[in-house]
A = this chain, B = another copy of it.
Amino acid sequence: MLNFTHRIPTEIRFGKDVTDGLPKVLERFGKNILLVYGGGSVKRSGLYDRLVSLLTGADFTVTDCPGVEPNPTVASVRRGVDLCRAKGIDAVLAVGGGSVIDCGKAIATGRYWEGDLWEMVLQSRAGRKSLPVIAVLTLSATGSEFDNKGVITNPETKEKYSSVFSFPVVSFCDPTFTFTVPPYQTACGSADIMSHAIESYFSRTEDSEISDGLAETIIRTVIHDLPIVLEQPDNYEARANLMWASTLACSGMADYGKRYPGKTCHAIGHELSAWYGVTHGESLAILQPRWMRLILKKDPSVTPRFARFARNVWGMTGDDEADLARRGIEALADFLANIGIASTLGELGIGEEHFLDMAVHADLRGRCTNSYVPLTQEDVLELFRACL
Protein backbone atom coordinates (compact mmCIF):
# COMPACT_ATOMS: atom_id res chain seq x y z
CA MET A 1 0.00 0.00 0.00
CA LEU A 2 1.57 3.25 -1.12
CA ASN A 3 1.38 6.54 0.74
CA PHE A 4 -1.51 8.81 -0.19
CA THR A 5 -3.10 12.10 0.74
CA HIS A 6 -6.86 12.53 1.06
CA ARG A 7 -7.82 16.18 0.70
CA ILE A 8 -11.33 16.89 -0.58
CA PRO A 9 -12.83 19.80 1.35
CA THR A 10 -15.99 19.96 -0.78
CA GLU A 11 -19.28 19.55 1.05
CA ILE A 12 -21.82 17.36 -0.76
CA ARG A 13 -25.52 17.93 -0.17
CA PHE A 14 -27.15 14.90 -1.66
CA GLY A 15 -30.81 14.15 -2.28
CA LYS A 16 -34.22 15.51 -3.17
CA ASP A 17 -34.72 19.26 -2.89
CA VAL A 18 -31.29 19.93 -1.40
CA THR A 19 -31.02 23.10 -3.52
CA ASP A 20 -33.57 24.66 -1.16
CA GLY A 21 -30.47 25.34 0.91
CA LEU A 22 -28.70 27.18 -1.91
CA PRO A 23 -29.49 30.78 -0.84
CA LYS A 24 -28.15 30.16 2.65
CA VAL A 25 -24.88 28.80 1.25
CA LEU A 26 -24.44 31.66 -1.25
CA GLU A 27 -25.27 34.19 1.47
CA ARG A 28 -21.85 33.47 3.00
CA PHE A 29 -20.11 35.05 0.02
CA GLY A 30 -22.25 37.94 -1.15
CA LYS A 31 -25.22 38.86 -3.30
CA ASN A 32 -23.73 38.96 -6.82
CA ILE A 33 -23.86 35.53 -8.40
CA LEU A 34 -22.57 34.43 -11.81
CA LEU A 35 -24.81 31.62 -13.08
CA VAL A 36 -22.78 29.44 -15.45
CA TYR A 37 -24.63 26.88 -17.54
CA GLY A 38 -24.61 25.17 -20.91
CA GLY A 39 -27.26 24.83 -23.55
CA GLY A 40 -30.99 24.64 -23.33
CA SER A 41 -31.47 21.55 -21.17
CA VAL A 42 -31.51 23.39 -17.83
CA LYS A 43 -34.07 25.77 -19.33
CA ARG A 44 -36.24 22.99 -20.81
CA SER A 45 -36.21 21.03 -17.57
CA GLY A 46 -37.36 24.07 -15.61
CA LEU A 47 -34.28 23.96 -13.38
CA TYR A 48 -33.02 27.35 -14.59
CA ASP A 49 -36.30 29.08 -13.71
CA ARG A 50 -36.49 27.31 -10.39
CA LEU A 51 -33.00 28.38 -9.29
CA VAL A 52 -33.25 31.94 -10.62
CA SER A 53 -36.57 32.45 -8.88
CA LEU A 54 -35.14 30.97 -5.66
CA LEU A 55 -32.19 33.37 -5.80
CA THR A 56 -33.94 36.54 -6.90
CA GLY A 57 -36.60 35.83 -4.25
CA ALA A 58 -33.76 35.94 -1.71
CA ASP A 59 -32.47 39.27 -3.09
CA PHE A 60 -29.53 37.93 -5.06
CA THR A 61 -28.46 39.58 -8.31
CA VAL A 62 -27.97 36.84 -10.87
CA THR A 63 -25.75 37.43 -13.93
CA ASP A 64 -26.22 34.90 -16.72
CA CYS A 65 -23.25 33.13 -18.31
CA PRO A 66 -24.85 30.63 -20.70
CA GLY A 67 -23.52 28.64 -23.62
CA VAL A 68 -20.71 26.63 -22.07
CA GLU A 69 -19.77 23.98 -24.63
CA PRO A 70 -19.57 20.19 -23.98
CA ASN A 71 -15.80 20.66 -24.22
CA PRO A 72 -15.55 24.11 -22.63
CA THR A 73 -13.24 26.51 -24.44
CA VAL A 74 -10.91 29.13 -23.09
CA ALA A 75 -13.19 31.66 -24.86
CA SER A 76 -16.04 30.67 -22.52
CA VAL A 77 -13.71 31.05 -19.56
CA ARG A 78 -12.75 34.54 -20.79
CA ARG A 79 -16.38 35.52 -21.19
CA GLY A 80 -17.11 34.45 -17.62
CA VAL A 81 -14.04 36.20 -16.22
CA ASP A 82 -15.02 39.45 -17.96
CA LEU A 83 -18.49 39.21 -16.41
CA CYS A 84 -17.04 38.55 -12.95
CA ARG A 85 -14.95 41.71 -13.19
CA ALA A 86 -17.58 43.90 -14.78
CA LYS A 87 -20.34 42.88 -12.38
CA GLY A 88 -18.36 42.54 -9.15
CA ILE A 89 -19.31 38.88 -8.82
CA ASP A 90 -19.03 37.33 -5.35
CA ALA A 91 -19.48 33.64 -6.21
CA VAL A 92 -19.74 31.35 -9.24
CA LEU A 93 -22.75 29.05 -9.40
CA ALA A 94 -22.20 26.30 -12.00
CA VAL A 95 -25.35 24.40 -12.97
CA GLY A 96 -24.78 21.43 -15.23
CA GLY A 97 -22.56 18.42 -15.83
CA GLY A 98 -18.80 18.13 -15.73
CA SER A 99 -18.14 20.60 -18.55
CA VAL A 100 -20.09 23.40 -16.93
CA ILE A 101 -18.57 22.79 -13.50
CA ASP A 102 -15.07 22.60 -15.01
CA CYS A 103 -15.66 25.92 -16.79
CA GLY A 104 -17.07 27.47 -13.60
CA LYS A 105 -13.89 26.54 -11.73
CA ALA A 106 -11.70 28.06 -14.46
CA ILE A 107 -13.75 31.27 -14.43
CA ALA A 108 -13.50 31.51 -10.64
CA THR A 109 -9.72 31.18 -10.72
CA GLY A 110 -9.46 33.36 -13.85
CA ARG A 111 -11.12 36.21 -11.97
CA TYR A 112 -7.85 36.82 -10.14
CA TRP A 113 -5.48 35.83 -12.93
CA GLU A 114 -3.43 38.60 -14.50
CA GLY A 115 -2.51 37.84 -18.08
CA ASP A 116 -3.46 35.24 -20.64
CA LEU A 117 -6.09 32.74 -19.50
CA TRP A 118 -4.75 29.86 -21.58
CA GLU A 119 -1.47 30.38 -19.74
CA MET A 120 -3.47 29.98 -16.50
CA VAL A 121 -4.81 26.66 -17.77
CA LEU A 122 -1.32 25.45 -18.67
CA GLN A 123 0.16 26.57 -15.34
CA SER A 124 -1.90 24.03 -13.41
CA ARG A 125 -1.39 24.58 -9.70
CA ALA A 126 -3.34 23.98 -6.48
CA GLY A 127 -4.02 26.79 -4.03
CA ARG A 128 -4.51 29.64 -6.51
CA LYS A 129 -6.76 32.51 -5.44
CA SER A 130 -10.29 31.91 -6.63
CA LEU A 131 -13.85 33.07 -6.22
CA PRO A 132 -15.95 30.48 -4.37
CA VAL A 133 -17.52 27.89 -6.69
CA ILE A 134 -20.86 26.28 -5.89
CA ALA A 135 -22.05 23.45 -8.13
CA VAL A 136 -25.49 22.08 -8.94
CA LEU A 137 -25.03 18.74 -10.68
CA THR A 138 -27.31 17.62 -13.52
CA LEU A 139 -25.38 14.68 -15.01
CA SER A 140 -23.80 11.64 -13.36
CA ALA A 141 -20.47 11.20 -15.07
CA THR A 142 -17.24 13.10 -14.50
CA GLY A 143 -17.07 13.70 -10.76
CA SER A 144 -16.11 17.37 -11.24
CA GLU A 145 -18.47 18.18 -8.35
CA PHE A 146 -15.96 16.56 -5.95
CA ASP A 147 -12.53 17.48 -7.31
CA ASN A 148 -10.47 20.58 -8.09
CA LYS A 149 -9.79 19.93 -11.77
CA GLY A 150 -11.18 21.29 -14.99
CA VAL A 151 -10.57 20.27 -18.60
CA ILE A 152 -10.38 23.32 -20.86
CA THR A 153 -9.94 23.32 -24.64
CA ASN A 154 -8.08 25.80 -26.82
CA PRO A 155 -9.51 25.38 -30.34
CA GLU A 156 -6.83 27.62 -31.85
CA THR A 157 -3.96 25.40 -30.76
CA LYS A 158 -6.08 22.19 -30.84
CA GLU A 159 -5.08 21.57 -27.21
CA LYS A 160 -7.19 20.19 -24.39
CA TYR A 161 -5.72 20.35 -20.93
CA SER A 162 -6.74 19.20 -17.44
CA SER A 163 -5.77 21.91 -14.99
CA VAL A 164 -6.02 22.23 -11.21
CA PHE A 165 -8.25 25.11 -10.08
CA SER A 166 -10.24 24.94 -6.83
CA PHE A 167 -12.71 22.57 -5.19
CA PRO A 168 -16.38 23.53 -5.17
CA VAL A 169 -17.23 24.80 -1.68
CA VAL A 170 -20.55 22.97 -1.80
CA SER A 171 -21.95 20.68 -4.51
CA PHE A 172 -25.68 20.11 -4.59
CA CYS A 173 -26.46 16.66 -5.98
CA ASP A 174 -30.18 16.11 -6.51
CA PRO A 175 -30.79 12.87 -8.44
CA THR A 176 -34.17 14.16 -9.69
CA PHE A 177 -32.24 16.69 -11.81
CA THR A 178 -30.97 13.74 -13.87
CA PHE A 179 -34.45 12.32 -14.62
CA THR A 180 -34.52 14.22 -17.92
CA VAL A 181 -31.05 13.17 -19.09
CA PRO A 182 -31.66 11.19 -22.33
CA PRO A 183 -30.70 7.50 -22.52
CA TYR A 184 -27.66 8.12 -24.72
CA GLN A 185 -26.08 10.67 -22.33
CA THR A 186 -27.04 8.53 -19.35
CA ALA A 187 -25.28 5.52 -20.84
CA CYS A 188 -22.19 7.53 -21.83
CA GLY A 189 -21.98 9.02 -18.34
CA SER A 190 -22.26 5.56 -16.79
CA ALA A 191 -19.55 4.16 -19.06
CA ASP A 192 -17.35 7.01 -17.83
CA ILE A 193 -18.10 6.19 -14.17
CA MET A 194 -17.33 2.54 -14.78
CA SER A 195 -14.12 3.35 -16.60
CA HIS A 196 -12.85 5.56 -13.76
CA ALA A 197 -13.33 2.67 -11.35
CA ILE A 198 -11.84 0.10 -13.74
CA GLU A 199 -8.77 2.21 -14.43
CA SER A 200 -8.20 2.48 -10.68
CA TYR A 201 -8.79 -1.23 -10.15
CA PHE A 202 -6.26 -2.62 -12.61
CA SER A 203 -3.02 -1.72 -10.87
CA ARG A 204 0.07 -3.62 -9.79
CA THR A 205 -0.52 -2.70 -6.16
CA GLU A 206 -2.56 -5.65 -4.94
CA ASP A 207 -3.02 -4.88 -1.27
CA SER A 208 -5.24 -1.81 -1.03
CA GLU A 209 -8.37 -3.59 0.11
CA ILE A 210 -10.51 -0.52 0.68
CA SER A 211 -9.69 1.04 -2.70
CA ASP A 212 -10.38 -2.23 -4.50
CA GLY A 213 -13.61 -2.80 -2.61
CA LEU A 214 -14.75 0.72 -3.44
CA ALA A 215 -13.97 0.24 -7.14
CA GLU A 216 -15.81 -3.10 -7.21
CA THR A 217 -18.78 -1.50 -5.48
CA ILE A 218 -18.91 1.37 -7.99
CA ILE A 219 -18.73 -0.98 -10.99
CA ARG A 220 -21.42 -3.29 -9.55
CA THR A 221 -23.60 -0.24 -8.89
CA VAL A 222 -23.45 0.81 -12.55
CA ILE A 223 -24.17 -2.76 -13.67
CA HIS A 224 -27.19 -2.87 -11.39
CA ASP A 225 -28.60 0.61 -11.85
CA LEU A 226 -27.91 1.69 -15.41
CA PRO A 227 -30.32 -0.87 -16.96
CA ILE A 228 -33.01 0.22 -14.48
CA VAL A 229 -32.55 3.87 -15.39
CA LEU A 230 -32.64 3.14 -19.13
CA GLU A 231 -36.05 1.51 -18.60
CA GLN A 232 -37.33 3.95 -15.97
CA PRO A 233 -35.64 7.36 -16.34
CA ASP A 234 -37.36 8.64 -13.19
CA ASN A 235 -36.40 5.77 -10.91
CA TYR A 236 -35.07 7.76 -7.97
CA GLU A 237 -33.13 5.00 -6.24
CA ALA A 238 -31.24 3.98 -9.37
CA ARG A 239 -30.52 7.59 -10.39
CA ALA A 240 -29.32 8.30 -6.84
CA ASN A 241 -26.97 5.33 -6.79
CA LEU A 242 -25.51 6.32 -10.17
CA MET A 243 -25.02 9.89 -8.97
CA TRP A 244 -23.17 9.00 -5.78
CA ALA A 245 -21.14 6.42 -7.72
CA SER A 246 -20.08 9.11 -10.20
CA THR A 247 -19.04 11.48 -7.42
CA LEU A 248 -16.82 8.90 -5.74
CA ALA A 249 -15.51 7.21 -8.89
CA CYS A 250 -13.45 10.20 -9.96
CA SER A 251 -12.55 11.42 -6.47
CA GLY A 252 -9.29 9.50 -6.43
CA MET A 253 -10.45 7.45 -3.43
CA ALA A 254 -10.33 4.21 -5.42
CA ASP A 255 -6.67 4.97 -6.23
CA TYR A 256 -5.50 5.43 -2.65
CA GLY A 257 -2.55 3.23 -1.83
CA LYS A 258 -2.16 2.07 -5.44
CA ARG A 259 0.46 2.81 -8.00
CA TYR A 260 -1.11 5.33 -10.37
CA PRO A 261 -2.07 2.99 -13.14
CA GLY A 262 -1.92 5.41 -16.05
CA LYS A 263 -5.60 5.65 -16.97
CA THR A 264 -4.65 4.22 -20.33
CA CYS A 265 -8.13 3.92 -21.82
CA HIS A 266 -8.84 7.53 -20.93
CA ALA A 267 -5.65 8.61 -22.72
CA ILE A 268 -6.47 6.57 -25.81
CA GLY A 269 -10.14 7.52 -25.71
CA HIS A 270 -9.27 11.24 -25.69
CA GLU A 271 -7.77 10.68 -29.16
CA LEU A 272 -11.08 9.41 -30.47
CA SER A 273 -12.77 12.52 -29.07
CA ALA A 274 -10.11 14.85 -30.43
CA TRP A 275 -9.99 13.42 -33.96
CA TYR A 276 -13.59 12.33 -34.46
CA GLY A 277 -15.60 14.04 -31.74
CA VAL A 278 -16.60 10.72 -30.19
CA THR A 279 -18.42 11.28 -26.88
CA HIS A 280 -16.03 10.61 -24.01
CA GLY A 281 -18.03 7.81 -22.37
CA GLU A 282 -18.76 6.14 -25.70
CA SER A 283 -15.07 6.02 -26.59
CA LEU A 284 -14.38 4.34 -23.23
CA ALA A 285 -17.16 1.79 -23.70
CA ILE A 286 -15.67 0.81 -27.06
CA LEU A 287 -12.07 0.64 -25.86
CA GLN A 288 -12.29 -0.88 -22.39
CA PRO A 289 -13.13 -4.54 -23.15
CA ARG A 290 -10.71 -4.65 -26.12
CA TRP A 291 -7.99 -3.18 -23.94
CA MET A 292 -8.69 -5.92 -21.39
CA ARG A 293 -8.48 -8.69 -24.00
CA LEU A 294 -5.25 -7.23 -25.36
CA ILE A 295 -3.42 -6.92 -22.04
CA LEU A 296 -4.56 -10.32 -20.79
CA LYS A 297 -3.19 -11.87 -23.99
CA LYS A 298 -0.01 -9.82 -23.79
CA ASP A 299 0.75 -10.45 -20.12
CA PRO A 300 -0.93 -13.50 -18.57
CA SER A 301 0.55 -12.57 -15.18
CA VAL A 302 -2.44 -10.25 -14.75
CA THR A 303 -4.83 -13.22 -14.85
CA PRO A 304 -5.47 -13.30 -11.06
CA ARG A 305 -6.62 -9.68 -11.00
CA PHE A 306 -9.02 -10.37 -13.89
CA ALA A 307 -10.27 -13.48 -12.12
CA ARG A 308 -10.92 -11.33 -9.05
CA PHE A 309 -12.80 -8.88 -11.28
CA ALA A 310 -14.97 -11.78 -12.52
CA ARG A 311 -15.66 -13.04 -9.01
CA ASN A 312 -16.19 -9.81 -7.11
CA VAL A 313 -17.83 -7.71 -9.80
CA TRP A 314 -19.77 -10.30 -11.79
CA GLY A 315 -20.31 -12.85 -9.04
CA MET A 316 -18.79 -15.62 -11.14
CA THR A 317 -17.46 -18.81 -9.59
CA GLY A 318 -15.01 -21.46 -10.70
CA ASP A 319 -11.49 -22.70 -10.11
CA ASP A 320 -10.02 -22.05 -13.54
CA GLU A 321 -8.50 -18.58 -13.17
CA ALA A 322 -7.81 -18.11 -16.89
CA ASP A 323 -11.37 -19.05 -17.77
CA LEU A 324 -12.76 -16.73 -15.09
CA ALA A 325 -10.57 -13.91 -16.37
CA ARG A 326 -11.91 -14.32 -19.91
CA ARG A 327 -15.52 -14.63 -18.78
CA GLY A 328 -15.29 -11.44 -16.70
CA ILE A 329 -14.09 -9.48 -19.71
CA GLU A 330 -16.81 -10.89 -21.98
CA ALA A 331 -19.47 -10.07 -19.38
CA LEU A 332 -18.29 -6.46 -19.45
CA ALA A 333 -18.26 -6.43 -23.27
CA ASP A 334 -21.82 -7.83 -23.37
CA PHE A 335 -22.99 -5.28 -20.84
CA LEU A 336 -21.51 -2.33 -22.72
CA ALA A 337 -22.89 -3.62 -26.03
CA ASN A 338 -26.41 -3.44 -24.65
CA ILE A 339 -26.75 0.05 -23.20
CA GLY A 340 -27.72 1.81 -26.41
CA ILE A 341 -24.41 3.32 -27.46
CA ALA A 342 -21.94 2.29 -30.16
CA SER A 343 -19.77 -0.71 -29.44
CA THR A 344 -17.52 -0.41 -32.48
CA LEU A 345 -15.81 2.44 -34.29
CA GLY A 346 -17.34 1.15 -37.53
CA GLU A 347 -20.80 2.08 -36.27
CA LEU A 348 -19.53 5.65 -35.93
CA GLY A 349 -18.12 5.65 -39.48
CA ILE A 350 -14.53 5.77 -38.27
CA GLY A 351 -11.80 4.09 -40.31
CA GLU A 352 -8.12 3.63 -39.65
CA GLU A 353 -6.68 6.61 -41.54
CA HIS A 354 -5.53 8.52 -38.43
CA PHE A 355 -4.72 5.59 -36.15
CA LEU A 356 -0.96 6.09 -36.33
CA ASP A 357 -1.11 9.77 -35.39
CA MET A 358 -3.56 8.96 -32.64
CA ALA A 359 -1.37 6.18 -31.24
CA VAL A 360 1.65 8.49 -31.17
CA HIS A 361 -0.28 11.30 -29.49
CA ALA A 362 -2.02 9.05 -26.94
CA ASP A 363 1.35 8.21 -25.43
CA LEU A 364 2.70 11.76 -25.26
CA ARG A 365 2.53 11.71 -21.47
CA GLY A 366 3.60 8.07 -21.26
CA ARG A 367 0.13 6.87 -20.36
CA CYS A 368 0.42 3.86 -22.71
CA THR A 369 4.05 2.83 -22.26
CA ASN A 370 4.00 3.56 -18.53
CA SER A 371 0.82 1.71 -17.62
CA TYR A 372 -0.59 -1.41 -15.96
CA VAL A 373 0.53 -3.54 -18.87
CA PRO A 374 2.86 -1.31 -20.93
CA LEU A 375 1.58 -0.84 -24.46
CA THR A 376 3.84 -0.25 -27.46
CA GLN A 377 2.71 1.87 -30.38
CA GLU A 378 2.01 -1.37 -32.24
CA ASP A 379 -0.22 -2.50 -29.34
CA VAL A 380 -2.22 0.71 -29.45
CA LEU A 381 -2.66 0.32 -33.20
CA GLU A 382 -3.83 -3.26 -32.66
CA LEU A 383 -6.28 -1.98 -30.05
CA PHE A 384 -7.70 0.65 -32.43
CA ARG A 385 -8.07 -1.97 -35.18
CA ALA A 386 -9.86 -4.33 -32.80
CA CYS A 387 -12.41 -1.56 -32.25
CA LEU A 388 -13.30 -1.22 -35.95
Docked-complex contact A209 and B213, CB < 8 angstroms:
no
Q: Which residues of B contact A13 (CB under 8 A)?
A: 3, 5
Known contacts being A12-B6, A241-B1, A241-B209, is A217 close to B220, with CB within 8 Å?
Answer: no
Residue of B whose beta carbon sits closest to that of A217? B213
Task: Tell me the minimal C-beta distance from A33 to chain B in angstroms.
Answer: 22
Docked-complex contact B236 and A209, CB < 8 angstroms:
no
Say which residue of B175, B245, B257, B317 sits within 8 Å of A244 (CB atoms).
B257
Task: Tell me the minimal C-beta distance from A207 to chain B in angstroms.
Answer: 4
CB-CB nearest 3 A-B residue pairs: A3-B15, A213-B217, A6-B12
Docked-complex contact A12 and B5, CB < 8 angstroms:
yes
User: What is the size, in residues, of chain A's interface with B at 8 Å between Cβ atoms?
Assistant: 41
- Contact residues, A213-256 vs B (CB, 8 A): 213-214, 216-218, 220-221, 224-225, 236-237, 240-241, 244-245, 248, 256
Docked-complex contact A216 and B213, CB < 8 angstroms:
yes
Q: Which residues of B contact A212 (CB under 8 A)?
A: 217
Say which residue of B210, B240, B257 sits within 8 Å of A1 (CB atoms).
B240
A208 to B11, CA, bound (A): 19
Q: Give 1 or 0 for each of A337-364: 1 = CB within 8 Å of chain B CB.
A: 0000000000000000000000000000
A317 to B207, CA, bound (A): 25
Task: Tell me the minimal C-beta distance from A211 to chain B in angstroms.
Answer: 9
Would you call A48 an interface residue if the criterion is a C-beta within 8 Å of the partner chain's C-beta atoms? no
Would you call A67 an interface residue if the criterion is a C-beta within 8 Å of the partner chain's C-beta atoms? no
Copy number in this complex?
A: 2
Residue of B whose beta carbon sits closest to that of A213? B217
Say which residue of B4, B15, B240 sits within 8 Å of A14 (CB atoms).
B4
Would you call A7 an interface residue if the criterion is a C-beta within 8 Å of the partner chain's C-beta atoms? yes
Would you call A75 an interface residue if the criterion is a C-beta within 8 Å of the partner chain's C-beta atoms? no
Docked-complex contact A236 and B1, CB < 8 angstroms:
yes
Would you call A16 an interface residue if the criterion is a C-beta within 8 Å of the partner chain's C-beta atoms? yes
Interface, chain A (partner B; CB < 8 A): 1-7, 9, 11-18, 175, 207-210, 212-214, 216-218, 220-221, 224-225, 236-237, 240-241, 244-245, 248, 256-257, 317
Docked-complex contact A3 and B14, CB < 8 angstroms:
yes
Residue of B whose beta carbon sits closest to that of A170? B7
Known contacts being A9-B9, A210-B244, is A1 close to B237, with CB within 8 Å?
Answer: yes
A237 to B211, CA, bound (A): 13
Say which residue of B3, B175, B213, B248 sits within 8 Å of A18 (CB atoms).
B3
Say which residue of B6, B16, B220 sits within 8 Å of A213 (CB atoms).
B220
Known contacts being A214-B217, A216-B213, A236-B1, is A241 close to B208, with CB within 8 Å?
Answer: yes
A43 to B48, CA, bound (A): 60
A209 to B214, CA, bound (A): 11
Residue of B whose beta carbon sits closest to that of A212? B217
Docked-complex contact A11 and B3, CB < 8 angstroms:
no
A245 to B207, CA, bound (A): 13
Task: Tell me the minimal C-beta distance from A251 to chain B in angstroms.
Answer: 10
Residue of B whose beta carbon sits closest to that of A207? B237
Q: Which residues of B contact A257 (CB under 8 A)?
A: 14, 240, 244
A213 to B313, CA, bound (A): 11
Say which residue of B1, B12, B217, B244 sits within 8 Å of A217 (CB atoms).
B217
Say which residue of B4, B14, B16 sits within 8 Å of A5 (CB atoms).
B14
Residue of B whose beta carbon sits closest to that of A175? B1
Q: Which residues of B contact A217 (CB under 8 A)?
A: 209-210, 212-214, 216-217
Task: Tell me the minimal C-beta distance from A209 to chain B in angstroms.
Answer: 4
